[in-house]
Amino acid sequence: MAATPSPCEHLRMLTLADDLGHLSYDVTGDGPPVVLVHAGVADHRMWDAVVPALAARHTVVRYDLRGFGASGPPGGAFRETDDLRGLLDHLGLGRVRLVGASWGGRVAVDFTLTHPDRVHSLALFAPPWPGYDWSAEMVAYDEAETAALAAGDLDTAVQVNLDMWLRGPAREWSDVAAGLADELRGPLRTSLVNQDLVGEHSEGPASGDIGAVSVPTLVGIGRLDVADFQDIARRYATGIPGATLVEFATAAHLIALDAPAELTAVLGPFLAR
């Protein structure tokens, strides 16, 4: 396995180069491997507050999806599931405990359906649902982001996303922990800058029936999240056999940022199964 940096070395990530560019990743801790897949408005640093506790008992792998964080934008057609498989192969990891947030949750679902022999357990926090009939609130958000980007106003596009995904529809900015918006602003800008290129080259989510997921599964949702995602979380919890649904009272969409202690308290026992 590659050399293991300390928890504070996220600025000096390891690199896996390939024909499409490169993936940046971080490995810390020792024990059964856990892979954390970040949200589509963030990068690997969204897990900073939960990694120390997890790394006390696990080898924790974080990476930036292609076009996010320190990972380069794609140089051609790619699948997120192929990227994850390549990283696991590079690290010599067989079966892993897989944890995904938002878009990272969907990547985790797709990987489990595509490579069921590589997944020991699955934890999903506010994952999207392909083909979901989005509410007027979500359509308005998408239109606002699209208009800002079309006008070349990246700052406004970032703020639109911060309002939707960090603050959420159910609270004021005064209710959000100080500093979180500043932490997320940089990763958000990177994701928006690379958004079109990633969308152009991504071959999209895998097809498959979530009823085929046969590993222990935890589904989490913030009670302050958009209503669409609360509904979607219940769909996953109902559709995946034996899945457990956990709700986080003080969190919006990004549970690892809003409620890291509560998330760790839930994840710890689940991953230890």
Out of 195, 213, 240, pick the residue that ends a domain. 195
Q: Which positions ≥6 away from 73 have C-beta within 8 Å?
A: 21, 66, 67, 194, 197, 198
- Whether this prediction's pTM lies above 0.75 is answered by yes
Instruction: Burial-class residue 185 by CB neighbours within 10 Å (0-12, 13-18, 19+).
Output: middle
Same domain, 47 and 114: yes
Residue 31 binned pLDDT confidence (cut-offs 50, 70, 90)? very high
Same domain, 153 and 263: no
Tell me what the mean pLDDT of segment 128-148 comes to.
97
Distance CA 206, CA 147 (A): 29
C-alpha pair distances (Å), 91 with each of 16, 88, 221: 10, 5, 31
Residue 5 pLDDT more than 90? no
- 59-63/21-29 β-pairing: antiparallel
CA 250-156-177 angle, to 5 degrees, is: 25
pLDDT, tens digit, for every residue of 218-230?
A: 999 999 999 999 9
pLDDT, tens digit, for every residue of 37-85?
A: 999 999 999 999 999 999 999 999 999 999 999 999 999 999 999 999 9
Task: Judge contact between 261 and 130, C-beta under 8 A.
Answer: no
Q: Is residue 252 part of a domain?
A: yes
Residue 11 binned pLDDT confidence (cut-offs 50, 70, 90)? low
Same domain, 28 and 104: yes
* Average pLDDT value over all residues in the chain: 94
Same domain, 161 and 208: no
Tell me what the mean pLDDT of segment 261-270 comes to.
98
